Structure formats: structure tokens, C-alpha cells
Structure 1
Amino acid sequence: MIEVTELTKRYGRGHRVRTAVDRLSFTVRPGRVTGFLGPNGAGKSTTLRLVLGLSAPTSGAVTVDGRPFRGRPRGLRHAGALLDAGDAHGGRTGRAHLRALARTNAIPAARVEQVLHEVGLAEAGGRRIGGYSLGMRQRLGIAGALLGDPPVLLFDEPLNGLDPEGVLWVRGLFRRLAAEGRTVFVSSHMMAEMEHTADHLVVVGRGRLIADESLSAFAARAGRGTVTVRAAEPDRLAAVLTAAGATVRPGPDGALAVTGVGATRIGELALEHRLLLHALTPRGASLEEAFMDLTADSVEYPAGEPR
């Protein structure tokens, strides 16, 4: 389990002080995949470094299974992490890189071959890392995280560079690790994939906590659910719904995508105006829609409108 309590990290001095993490508190529990989301500059990578003791907090505390991670000898046995897939010497082979990690953490050499096989790099283990693709480097980084068979695992953007097969493999890996009772904490910008992978979300913006809740609760809180409507007279229905405050987008197949008015109200309006409905299908907001809604005020570098 990872426990973050009133964690703050500032950089700089005087009027140049920048707060990267601001009184952040949350708990990452075992047995589920927790997604860590936020706009660029939200403080996600800084938080992960603070969890692993790679940076010291300005104030607050963070523990891994009840203790600060920095004070743990043989750290890979307690927590494994992939923070940067490029953080491996290009002149070494993948096997040599993992063997060095194993020696410094008193991990048997046989474990190196096990994780190389698990991540699909058994045949590439003898090749120099400098010749690896980004996807292969990601797999090597995941192998390093798994090396000590730890109860806590942290991954920062683990899907970058992976092909579709690799993405499916990572999704299954994370779910299996969580099912084994491990703590799995995953930072990613790939919303569609997080929607299929995460059970719980921690969302931050400008270093502060925005949400700490289940994926379904987060999506529901955005309030941007869409109702797909098929009607005998779609143009008339669209006019009625628009007058009632809804936003209506006609689809190429004749269906209407309606937001701003719920399915029950759509049915009532159709009955009131004697409009025949063929189908009325509510759909909750996607994770991406919810994320954009709830982090809109926390984007540090918003893109300008096209000219």
C-alpha cells in the first residue's frame, strides 16, 4: 500500500518558487489497478519520485507498506518501478542490465531469465539496449520492475511505444498483478486504455488532488452522459430537445446524440409532442470526457484557438 499524506514539493527560492505538489493526500490500496491521471505539469512524475525516495518532500510524508521507501535495503524486493524507459545504458545488453539490478538487490540470477521470458524479451536479452525499439525498452523497464517480485509496483507511461499486442499484454499483466493482491499504480495519458484497465483513479491538477474514487464514480461526476435517440421524425425531435436546453448532434445513420437532457426527460418530451421513439439508449461519459471536464481549470499550458 502507498500512503501519501499532505505531501508538498517546491522548487526554487524567493519569488521564483514553484509548487509541483501541493498538500496532496491519497492512498493506493492493494488488489486493484489505480490509475494516476492529470494534465501535463500536474505533478504526477514528481509524486512518483517522492514515493520512491528519489526526491525529498518539502513537507508531508509518503510511505510504502508503512515505511519510507528510501530507508528500505534491497528496495526492488519491496517496490518495483518503471519511470523512464530510456534510463538504461545503451551499451549494455538487456540481460546484463537486469543482472546488475539483481546483484545490487540480492536477487537470484535465475530471476533475470524468468522476467525476460515474461515480458517477451528472452531472445532479445543478449542484444544491446541501444538497438532496442521504444516498445522493447518499455518491456525491459517492466522486467526491471518485476525483478524483485515486489508487492508494490509503479509505472509511469508504460504504454508508450507499445504495439496493440503489447498494450493488451500490459493490460492483462496489470490486472493479474492486482488479482494477486499487489498494489499497482499506473500513470498514463492513454485515457481509452485506462478506461479498460483501472479500477480506481487518483486525479491531480496543478499539484492538488481533484479526485480519488472509482472509475465509474469519476465518469458519472462529469455529468456529460450522452443519450442516443432514434425517432420517426428526428428533425422535429431535435427542435423540441434543443428548445428544452439539450445539445443535439445528428449522426450519419439518422440517430441523434443528445447531451444536457436525460433519457427520462427525452421520453417525456417525446410523449408530450406526440413523437414516436424507436430507441432511447443512455451512455455515461467516457473517461476522456470526464477527465477533460474535471481538469479543465487545471491545465497549465492550454492550447490556443486556431486562427
Structure 2
Amino acid sequence: MIEVTELTKRFRGAAAVDGLSFTVRPGRVTGFLGPNGAGKSTTLRLLLGLNRPTSGSATIEGRLFAGRPRGLRHVGALLDAHDVHGGRTARAHLTALALSNGLPRSRVPAVLEEVGLASAAGRRIGGFSLGMRQRLGIAGALLGDPPVLLFDEPVNGLDPEGVRWARGLFGRLAAEGRTVLVSSHLMSEMEHTAEELVVIGRGRLIAAEALATFASRATRQRVRVRSPQARQLAGLLAKEDGAGVVPPPASDPEAIEVTGLPAARIGDLAAHHRIPVHELSGRGSSLEDAFMELVADSVEYAAKDPR
């Protein structure tokens, strides 16, 4: 189990993490979400003893990670897939990690096989793609067969097959009773991967709850509309107070998406203006909807909404 209690970290007076408290329990995949600059990576570094907190605590299984010898037996982590020596082979890199943590050499071919890099064991890491480096980083995290695993943006650079493999791996690890914390910016991926969420913004906790509970917080219900006069209808709907309209894309010129208006009002407007409607369907709130609403005040660099 991971416990973060009133954790604060300041750099030159600015708080990267500010009074943060949450718990990550075993047996489930917990997603760690937040906009850029929210403090996710700093929190993970504090958990691993790579930075010292200004105040508060971050413990794993009730202890500071820095006080554990042979740490890979207790916690496996992938923070930066590029943080490896490019001149070493994958086998040499993992062997060095194994020997420094008192692990048997037999774990090296086992984890290389598990992450799909057995055939690349003798290749130098400098020639690896980002996806291969991510797999190697995951192999390093698995090396000690630890009860707690931390992954920072682990699917960046993976192809669709790799993303599906990683999703299945995290689920299996959690099903084995391990504590699995996955940091990601990919809302769609978290919807398929996580059961619990910890969401932070500007170093502070926004939510710590089940994914379904968090997604249900979204207030902007969406309605999908299809019409052969989609652009004309979009123009009419855009004039309604509180409405948000995504105009039809070139790939689907009859489809628009509307927020802020109930389906009944959209249908009435279309009927009044004699605009045929071929589809009018409400869509439930998504994780992305809830995330964008709840972190709106925590986004450091916000672009203009195209709607």
C-alpha cells in the first residue's frame, strides 16, 4: 500500500506538491492523473526517495523507500524510459540491476521474455525505439517481482498491440494482489485500465475515488446529432445560450456533437426549422469530460476551445 500524507515539496519557494494526501491500495490499478505541471512526477520521485519532501511523508508498505536495501524486491518503478545507458545491451542493463539488488540472473531472461524483448536482449539500448525502451523499463520494474509498482506514462511510444499488452499486464499484476499506480495523460487509456483514480492539480488533490464515480461528476451531457443539413443545424444550435457545438468534420459531414442542450430542445429546434434529423442520441459523461471540468482551474497552459 502507498500512503501520502500532507506531502509538500517546494522548489525555490514554489510548491510543486502542496499538502497532498491519498492512499493507493493493493488489488486494483490506480490511475494517477493531472494536467502538465500538476506534480505527478514530483510525487513519484518523492515516493522513491529521489527528492526529499519539504514536509509531510510518502511511504510504501509503511516505510520510506529510501530505507530499504535491495529496493527492487519491494518496489518496481518506471519513471523515464530514456534514463538508461545507450551503450549497454538490454541484457547487460538488467543484469546490472539484478546484481545490485541481490536478484538471481535467471530473472533477466524471464522479464525480457515477459515484455517481448527476448530477441533484442543482445542489442544496444541506444538503437531502441521509444516503445522498446518503455518495454525495457517495464522489465526493470518487474525484475524483483515486487508487491508495489509505479509507472509514469508507460504506454508512450507503444503501438496499439503494445498498449493492449500493457493494459493486460497492469490488470494481471493488480489481480495478483499488488499495488499498481499508473500515471498517464491519456484519458481514453485510463478508462480501459484503471479502477481507481487519484487526480491532482497544481500539486493539490482534486479527487481520489473510483473511476466510475469520478466520470459521473461531469455535468456537460453530450448529444450526437446526424442530419443531411448538419452545418445549418449547427449554426442554429450555436446561438442557444450555454450550447457548445462541434461542427461536422470532413470525414463525417452529417454528424455534430452538442453540449449544454437536452436532446428534446435540439429536436424541437430542428423540427421548427424543417431540418431533417436522422439521429438524436444522448451520450453519458466520460472520464475526459469530468477531467476537463474538474481540472479547468489547474491547467497551466490552456488553449482556446475550438467550439
Deviation, structure 1 residue 258: 3.1
1:96 to 78, 92, 103: 92
Identity of aligned residues (%): 69
Deviation, structure 1 residue 304: 6.8
2:23 matched residue in structure 1: 27
What SS class does the counterpart of residue 102 from structure 1 fall into?
helix
1:77 matched residue in structure 2: 73
Deviations 1:13-40 (A, max 9, x none): xxxx111100000111111111111111
Mapped to 2, the partners of 1:53 and 1:10 lie a distance apart of 15
1:197 matched residue in structure 2: 193
Deviation, structure 1 residue 269: 9.3
Deviation, structure 1 residue 257: 3.1
What SS class does the counterpart of residue 155 from structure 1 fall into?
strand
1:111 to 107, 112, 115: 107
| Runs of at least 5 residues in structure 1 that lack an aligned partner in the other structure | none
Deviation, structure 1 residue 149: 0.6
Mapped to 2, the partners of 1:163 and 1:230 lie a distance apart of 32
Deviations 1:249-302 (A, max 9, x none): 5655656533223457778999999x9987653212332332222212112233
What SS class does the counterpart of residue 123 from structure 2 fall into?
coil
Mapped to 1, the partners of 2:172 and 2:147 lie a distance apart of 12
What SS class does the counterpart of residue 4 from structure 1 fall into?
strand
Deviation, structure 1 residue 203: 1.1
Q: May I ask how many residue pairs the two structures share in their alignment?
A: 302
What SS class does the counterpart of residue 88 from structure 2 fall into?
coil
What SS class does the counterpart of residue 221 from structure 1 fall into?
coil
Equivalent AA in structure 2 for residue 27 of structure 1: T
What SS class does the counterpart of residue 216 from structure 2 fall into?
helix
TM-score under structure 2 length normalisation = 0.86
Deviation, structure 1 residue 177: 0.9
Mapped to 2, the partners of 1:292 and 1:218 lie a distance apart of 12
* Shift in alpha-carbon separation, 1:216–1:238, aligned structure 2, 3 A: farther
2:33 matched residue in structure 1: 37
Equivalent AA in structure 2 for residue 105 of structure 1: N
1:3 matched residue in structure 2: 3
Asked if the contact 2:112–2:118 (Cα under 8 Å) also holds between the matched residues in 1, the reply is: yes
> 1:1-307 residue pairs with structure 2 within 5 A?
1-12=1-12, 17-229=13-225, 246-247=243-244, 251=248, 252=252, 254=254, 257-262=257-262, 280-303=280-303
Deviation, structure 1 residue 174: 0.8
Mapped to 1, the partners of 2:241 and 2:18 lie a distance apart of 42
Asked if the contact 1:230–1:277 (Cα under 8 Å) also holds between the matched residues in 2, the reply is: yes
Q: Which moved more, 1:1-10 or 1:241-250?
A: 241-250
Asked if the contact 1:224–1:284 (Cα under 8 Å) also holds between the matched residues in 2, the reply is: no
TM-score under structure 1 length normalisation = 0.86
* Shift in alpha-carbon separation, 1:261–1:301, aligned structure 2, 3 A: closer
Equivalent AA in structure 2 for residue 5 of structure 1: T
Deviations 1:41-85 (A, max 9, x none): 111110000111111111111111111111112111111000011
Asked if the contact 2:234–2:247 (Cα under 8 Å) also holds between the matched residues in 1, the reply is: no
Deviation, structure 1 residue 228: 2.8
* Shift in alpha-carbon separation, 1:70–1:284, aligned structure 2, 3 A: same
